[in-house]
């Protein structure tokens, strides 16, 4: 996948524009991604901190930053003669969970949810604040702002296999061809509606993002993310690997078992990725068939090994080399969803053992058999 920089125009700029049009005074601060606006009522000053947190992976914002900013503003305004200074942080992000995690209960906050296009006042937070809430709501409902891209962790495309596609039995790999066709059709449809390199667009169309699963219950992302690809090269590289390896596995296990291996491996990759990034508290937007493809490789590796190191034109050495190279490339690169790869591969190994039945060897020497009687 590709990392996309969040453009300068959009929700933050619209909110700032509405605040300025409403006569709110802007306070200059030297904090990247932060803008301050204030409204004065006699000896009271209400301060709204607009914090751009749409790209948490690169943002320098932190809980300590917001707390320090609040304290600095309070000291500054008290020196100006204000008796009461109130501060609320408006976190502009694409998940309420991200905002809650950022403030950590140490400052009052609201959320400008750029994913669901809504203004949220969390429970226990100020319902009204010097009229700022009305201005923010107007910014959401009075105009339509350009949608933003969500943060996308870079992800390694599937490597091309070094295994040559030599002579194979003349059996159609219907399921594998169907899966490839589905991936291509989905890619074409998405490209016709937007850009598959647009992180926000892909987030809206089924990309994997664990906060959406945990907070909003969007469990369908476990499945949909394995059929979408970020860009043409991502699709082509994955489909090349699937084309050269998938039909071998389908012929070995059968159509239905192959479909089970592919889907369950993809889901297992998504699940392990979800658990891993939830534990380390890292926000990753991802998609692609790599988890399922690693499952295909895992199942094939098991089958090749128990068939004395060879299956059709595949050899155990080639597959082991492919596995080692793929994991080495992933673990030595930044932004690769290795959890999905590992989850898919392990699921493929297990399913290969459970679903594959080694064919009985045909009788090749009738004379030697007759001597047994």
CATH code for the domain of 216? 1.20.1540.10
On whether residue 117 sits in a domain, the answer given is yes
Q: How many domains does the chain have?
A: 2
Q: Are residues 92 and 200 in the same domain?
A: no
| Residue with the larger pLDDT of the pair 366 and 345 | 345
Whether residue 53 contacts residue 174, with contact meaning beta carbons closer than 8 Å, is answered with no
> Which of 121, 141, 161 finishes a domain?
141
Q: Of 53, 45, 3, which is closest to residue 24 (Cα–Cα)? A: 45
Maximum mean pLDDT: which of 4-13, 96-105, 150-159: 96-105
The mean-pLDDT minimum among 1-5, 93-97, 277-281, 301-305 falls in 1-5
Secondary structure (3-state) at 39: strand
Question: Which residue's structure tokens are 């700022």?
Answer: 132
Range of the domain at 133: 11-141
**pLDDT for residue 268:** 94
182 and 88 within one domain: no
Same domain, 322 and 197: yes
What is the Cα–Cα distance from 138 to 329, expressed in whole angstroms?
49
3 lies in some domain:
no
Give yes or no: residues 181 and 127 share one domain.
no
Cβ-based burial of 83 (10 A; exposed 0-12, middle 13-18, buried ≥19): exposed
Neighbours of 148 (CB within 10 A): 24
Q: Are 213 and 342 part of one and the same domain?
A: yes
What's the pLDDT score for residue 141? 67
What's the CA gap between 293 and 121, in Å, rounded?
43
Average pLDDT of every residue of the chain: 80
- Express each pLDDT in 194-225 by its tens digit: 998 888 888 889 989 888 888 889 999 999 99
Q: Do 130 and 222 have their domain in common? A: no
Residues 262 and 186 in one domain: yes
- Does pLDDT of 30 surpass 90? no
Token pair 């503003």: residue? 73
Catalytic residue among 268, 270, 286, 290: 290
pLDDT over 70 for what percent of the chain? Answer: 82
Mean pLDDT over residues 6-27, rounded? Answer: 74
Give residue 23's pLDDT.
Answer: 85
Whether residue 159 is contained in a domain is answered as no
Provide the Cα torsion 241, 246, 248, 250; round to 10°.
180
For residue 373, is it within any domain? no
d(CA 242, CA 240): 5
41 domain-assigned: yes
Positive or negative torsion for Cα 54, 55, 57, 60: negative
- How many Å from the N-terminal Cα to the C-terminal Cα in the chain? 64
Determine the average pLDDT of the residues in 107-121.
Answer: 85
Give the C-alpha separation, 315 to 135, whole Å.
66
What's the pLDDT at 360?
Answer: 52
Q: Is the predicted pLDDT of residue 159 greater than 50, yes or no? A: no
User: What pTM was estimated for this model as a whole?
Assistant: 0.56
pLDDT band (50, 70, 90) for residue 137? confident
Q: Do residues 205 and 326 both lie within one domain?
A: yes
Domain C-terminal end among 94, 122, 141: 141
Q: CA-CA distance, 164 to 155, in Å (whole number)?
A: 26
Q: Is the pLDDT score of 370 beyond 70?
A: no
- Reduce the DSSP state of residue 193 to 3 states and report it: helix
Strands 118-120 and 314-315: unpaired
14 confidence band (pLDDT: 50, 70, 90): confident
| Residue 134 domain flag | yes
Q: Judge if 221 and 105 occupy the same domain.
A: no
Asked whether the beta carbons of 202 and 235 are under 8 A apart, the reply is: no
Residue that wins the pLDDT comparison between 369 and 320: 320
- pLDDT-wise least confident of 109-123, 129-143, 200-214: 129-143
Considering the domain architecture, whether residues 60 and 107 belong to the same structural domain is answered as: yes
* 371 within a domain of the structure (yes/no): no
47-56, 85-94, 345-354, range with the lowest pLDDT? 47-56
In a domain, 275, yes or no: yes
The set of residues, in sequence order, having a beta carbon less than 8 Å from that of 244 and lying 6+ positions away, is: 161, 163, 165
Q: What are phi and psi of 51, to 5 degrees?
A: -110, 115
Distance CA 309, CA 321 (A): 13
Handedness of CA 357, 363, 369, 373 (dihedral sign): positive
Is there a catalytic annotation at residue 290? yes
Which pLDDT band holds residue 300 (cuts at 50, 70, 90)?
very high
Tell me the average pLDDT across 117-132. Answer: 87
Higher pLDDT, 359 or 21: 21
Residues 70 and 124 placed together within one structural domain of the fold:
yes
Q: What is the spatial distance between Cα 152 and Cα 355, in angstroms, rounded to a whole number? A: 36
| Chain mean position to CA 120 | 23
Last residue of a domain, one of 91, 121, 141: 141
Is residue 207 located within the same domain as residue 256?
yes
Segments in the chain forming alpha helices (H) = 11-21, 63-79, 96-103, 132-141, 174-193, 199-204, 210-216, 221-224, 232-253, 255-279, 290-306, 316-331, 338-355, 366-370
Active-site choice (46, 205, 229, 341): 341
Active site residue 270: no
Q: What percent of the chain has pLDDT over 90?
A: 28
pLDDT at 363 over 70: no
């Amino acid at each position: 996948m590709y990392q996309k920089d969040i453009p300068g125009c959009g929700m933050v700029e619209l909110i700032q524009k509405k605040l300025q049009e409403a006569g709110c005074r802007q306070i200059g601060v030297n904090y990247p991604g932060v803008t301050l606006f204030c409204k004065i009522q006699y000896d009271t000053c209400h301060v709204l901190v607009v914090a751009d947190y749409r790209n948490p992976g690169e943002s320098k914002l932190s809980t300590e930053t917001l707390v320090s900013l609040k304290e600095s503003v309070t000291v500054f305004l008290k020196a100006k003669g204000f008796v009461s200074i109130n501060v609320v942080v408006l976190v502009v992000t694409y998940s309420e969970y991200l905002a809650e995690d950022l403030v950590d209960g140490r400052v009052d906050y609201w959320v400008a949810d750029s994913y669901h296009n809504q203004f949220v006042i969390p429970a226990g937070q100020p319902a009204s604040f010097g009229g700022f809430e009305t201005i923010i709501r107007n910014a959401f409902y009075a105009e339509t702002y350009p949608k933003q891209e969500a943060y996308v962790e870079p992800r390694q495309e599937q490597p091309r296999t070094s295994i040559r596609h030599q002579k194979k039995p003349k059996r159609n790999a219907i399921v594998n061809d169907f899966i490839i066709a589905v991936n291509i059709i989905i890619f074409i449809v998405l490209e016709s509606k937007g850009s598959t390199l647009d992180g926000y667009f892909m987030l809206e169309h089924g990309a994997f993002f664990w906060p959406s699963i945990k907070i909003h219950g969007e469990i369908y992302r476990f499945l949909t993310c394995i059929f979408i690809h970020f860009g043409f090269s991502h699709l082509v590289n994955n489909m090349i690997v699937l084309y050269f390896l998938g039909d071998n596995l389908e012929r070995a296990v059968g159509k239905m078992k192959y479909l089970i291996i592919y889907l369950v491996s993809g889901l297992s990759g998504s699940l392990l990725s979800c658990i891993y990034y939830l534990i380390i508290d890292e926000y990753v937007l991802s998609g692609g068939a790599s988890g399922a493809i690693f499952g295909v490789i895992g199942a094939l590796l098991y089958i090749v090994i128990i068939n004395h190191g060879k299956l059709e034109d595949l050899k155990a050495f080639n597959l082991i080399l492919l596995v080692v190279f793929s994991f080495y490339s992933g673990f030595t690169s930044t932004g690769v969803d290795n959890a999905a790869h590992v989850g898919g591969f392990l699921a493929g190994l297990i399913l290969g053992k459970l679903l594959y039945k080694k064919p009985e060897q045909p009788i090749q020497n009738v004379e030697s058999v007759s001597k047994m009687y």
